[in-house]
Amino acid sequence: MKCLIVAAGQGTRLREKGELKPLIPIKGAPLIGHVIARALAAGIDEFVVVSGWRGEDLRQTLDAIAAREKVRLTHVVNDEWNRANGVSVHKAKVALDGPFLLTMCDHLVDPGIFRALLAAPREPDTVTLAVDFKTGSDLHDPEDVTRVKCEDGRILHIGKVIRDFNAFDTGVFLCTPAMFAALEKSQAEGDDSISGAMNVLAREGKARVFDIGERLWIDVDDPAAFGKAERLLHAGRL
C-alpha cells in the first residue's frame, strides 16, 4: 500500500526552528524523515509526497532518503500550496490507484497506529480517520487541534471550532478513492480542507473512525510542540 504525505505548506509557526518545516532537524533527522521511518516500520514501502513551497529543496532531500532506504517515492507538485491541505491530497490523485494511507509531514505518530489501522477491517468507498479519545492530553493544543464528534465508529462532524466533540484528529487516514470525490464536492462548496471532505463523507455515511487507544502522536506545529516531540523522542516514547 502507498503512503501519501502532505508537505506543501510554509509552516510559518515553526519558522524559528528552520526555513523549510519538513526538513527541520529533530533528534538528528529531518521531521519528514521521522514520518517516513514510522511508516516504514509499519510495513509501507512506497510513498507519494506532495511538495509546494520551496519544493525543489524538499524533493532533493526526499530523493536521498528514498535511495538510502531503498523505497519507491513519487513526487507530486502542488503549485497552489497557499490553499488548504485538501488541494494537496487531490493533486496526488494521479499517483494513487487504490486504497492508501494518508498522513502529514509534521505529525509524529507511534508506528503501531499505522500498523493497527492497516490491519483493521475495511469497508468499500469509505475513509477511516485514526482518532484520539484522550482529549485531556497535554501533548495537544486544544485551541489548534482538529476536533471530531463521533458515534458508533462513524464521524458525525469534524472541524477546529466545533464545540460538541469527543475525540481529536491524529492526521492519519486510511483512504479509498472516495476521498477524491469528497474533496471535489467540498471544494465546490468552498472548503479546500481535508476536514471539509471528511464532513462530506460524514453526511454520506462513509466516514469511519479508528480508536488509537493509548498510543501517542503529536502535531509538531509550533515551538512548544517541537519541544514536547523532542522530549518524547529522547525518552523513547514515540
Q: Is residue 238 part of a domain?
A: no
pLDDT computed for residue 173 by the predictor: 98
Q: Is residue 235 part of a domain?
A: no
CB 126 within 8 A of CB 176: yes
Average pLDDT, the chain: 97
Residues 113-140: pLDDT tens digits? Answer: 999 999 999 899 999 999 999 999 999 9
pLDDT computed for residue 191 by the predictor: 98
Q: Is residue 139 part of a domain?
A: yes
Runs of H (alpha helix) within the chain: 31-41, 55-69, 85-91, 111-119, 178-188, 194-203, 223-234
How many angstroms separate the CA atoms of 30 and 41, rounded?
17
Is the pTM higher than 0.85? The answer reads: yes
pLDDT computed for residue 106 by the predictor: 97
pLDDT computed for residue 99 by the predictor: 96
The domain total for the chain is 1
CB 2 within 8 A of CB 100: yes
pLDDT computed for residue 29 by the predictor: 96
CB 114 within 8 A of CB 150: no
DSSP characters for 57-125?
A: HHHHHHHHHHHHHT-EEEEEE-TTTTS-HHHHHHHGGGG--S-EEEEETTEEE-HHHHHHHHHS---TT
**Mean pLDDT computed over 88-113:** 97
Q: Is residue 236 part of a domain?
A: no
pLDDT computed for residue 107 by the predictor: 98
pLDDT computed for residue 211 by the predictor: 98
pLDDT computed for residue 183 by the predictor: 98
Residues 166-216: pLDDT tens digits? Answer: 999 999 999 999 999 999 999 999 999 999 999 999 999 999 999 999 999
Domain with residue 12: its CATH number is: 3.90.550.10
Q: Is residue 63 part of a domain?
A: yes
pLDDT computed for residue 34 by the predictor: 97
Q: Is residue 108 part of a domain?
A: yes
How many angstroms separate the CA atoms of 228 and 134, rounded?
17
**Which domain, by its residues, includes 25?**
2-214+223-229
Cell of 70: 531503498
- Sort strands 72-77 and 46-51 into parallel, antiparallel or unpaired: parallel
DSSP symbol at 238: -
Q: Is residue 152 part of a domain?
A: yes
Residues 14-65: pLDDT tens digits? Answer: 999 999 999 999 999 999 999 999 999 999 989 999 999 999 999 999 999 9
Report the amino acid identity of residue 216.
L
Sign of CA dihedral 113, 183, 59, 94: positive
Confidence at 218, pLDDT banded by 50, 70, 90: very high
Q: Is residue 237 part of a domain?
A: no
Cell of 39: 511508516
pLDDT computed for residue 80 by the predictor: 97
